[in-house]
Structure 1
């Protein structure tokens, strides 16, 4: 069935005449008449009862049935058009984000706030998990966008973009000053509290320690940055954590920053993950990426 023919028939039935239908559709009256004839030929029924004397027409029983189907079909079409427009203009829709813990805890909130201010009707969710879990969720289309801390994502099914660099700080229990100087030998002889092997933060910390020629002799593994900060505060050892995690604790005089002379490469990258093909990204995800591109201090 030719849907264009059905559309012409629908407007003839709705308007009650071929001339009004042709005006509404902005096509010639002969074209409308031909469409109706083709539709009758296709179904092998008469859809209209035409009267030459009264110059009008009436729907047959078959015509009334087909008109109801056409009305339902074009109502669905209108709903689909309106829905797609709402999604495109972000009057509606869903945004599913994935973020690693540090990103979710310390960086994401102001960007989400800006997004909700601009697009209040878009439903938003945030999955907080490790980089491997976020990567798999993106590949499986369970999230629209991922934001992670450090590390490398090797999958060809994921596009990786640099967001910004986050500062890392050496920390110790409060010494009476917000910062204290230490030399490399002192650092190496201390107990170090580090994330577990395989954690992205652990990879970054090991890279920074190696760049600064520090080889810890005693290591205790703890499963979260916040837990590490608490144990450092209690005097269990030293650590190297994101500034965002420990800045408030330094201001509260529960931790002190360790100043290492000529420290190198004391930053780690935060990354945005998305699908490599732009047509696979939702309008909401694209809009959120624009917001992420404007750094909030």
Structure 2
């Protein structure tokens, strides 16, 4: 059986109009198309839906049984059509930890305030996990802490971010001039390998030191900043991550003899992923953050 929504629409309009002629006018179809659609529906159901009295069509017990169910299906179909015309849709996001924990909450709050019924799922991981999620179509949009050079991924620059070296206010590093040597001799608490932050720290900071000692590698920026707060070592994270503790004086920035460490955060999508209205709409909120 292959009942179509068009057949159900024809059936309900014939019932309301009382004839195939009037139904054809409402549906902008030929009378023969309306008659053929109704005949085909009755053939698939194996019953007559109307009693024929000359040219008149009078609904019978079968038609009365079908009518409320047909109307329910047509109403659901209309709801679906309106849902996607309005640009709604369930979005799946994947973001690296700095972005997911510190930048996206405000963006998502604005998005949900304007679209309270829109479904949105967010997975937070390191940059490689985000790339994998987008590559395998498990996420519609990815947000990572650096470019992606994977051949099946389209990477777009998004926001500028600054990495900051920091320590507890009473740390040993502040009792002497901060040099590359004192930084090399300090205990470091860093993000795990595979994170975008760690990749940049390796490139812009650790590569400039003659040696270094990593005492802890943690996969959570919150754990790192609190470990540093309690005097366990130095670290280097996004200013977004530690802004609250810097402002409160619980952490102190270490001004190193190095150029400012900046990076560009990127939006990524699979190159074969079609941009739906829902995706386009969410991206406008992301770009408002840039402005």
Instruction: Give TM-score, length-normalised by structure 1.
Output: 0.77
Is the 8 Å Cα contact of residues 168 and 240 (structure 1) preserved in structure 2? yes
SS of residue in 1 equivalent to 2:192? coil
Q: State the partner residue of 1:291.
A: 285
Is the 8 Å Cα contact of residues 134 and 270 (structure 2) preserved in structure 1? yes
Match of 1:184 among 175, 180, 184: 180
1:17 aligns with 2:19: yes
Please give the per-residue CA displacement for 1:5-60, whole angstroms capped at 9, x wherever unaligned.
775455334422233223322345455456657778999987765444xx52345x
Give, in angstroms, the shift of residue 93 of structure 1: 3.8
Aligned length: 285
Is the 8 Å Cα contact of residues 164 and 270 (structure 1) preserved in structure 2? yes
Root-mean-square deviation (CA, aligned residues, Å) is 3.5
Please give the per-residue CA displacement for 1:158-210, whole angstroms capped at 9, x wherever unaligned.
3322211210112233159xx99622222223222222333332211011125
Is the 8 Å Cα contact of residues 158 and 290 (structure 2) preserved in structure 1? no
SS of residue in 1 equivalent to 2:288? coil
Alignment of 1:115-264 (within 5 A): 115-150=111-146, 152=148, 154=150, 156=152, 158-174=153-169, 182-209=178-205, 213-223=208-218, 224-261=220-257, 263-264=258-259
- Which runs of no fewer than 5 residues in structure 1 stay unpaired? none
Please give the per-residue CA displacement for 1:62-118, whole angstroms capped at 9, x wherever unaligned.
xx647855874564244223213213315x542332222211221112101110111
Give, in angstroms, the shift of residue 259 of structure 1: 1.8
Cα distance between partner residues in 1 of 2:38 and 2:97: 62
Q: State the partner residue of 2:57.
A: 57
**Which moved further from structure 2: 245-254 or 2-11?**
2-11
Is the 8 Å Cα contact of residues 7 and 70 (structure 1) preserved in structure 2? no
1:76 aligns with 2:73: yes
Cα distance between partner residues in 1 of 2:43 and 2:121: 53
Q: State the partner residue of 2:270.
A: 275
**Which moved further from structure 2: 93-102 or 111-120?**
93-102
Larger Rg: 1
Cα distance between partner residues in 2 of 1:43 and 1:203: 64
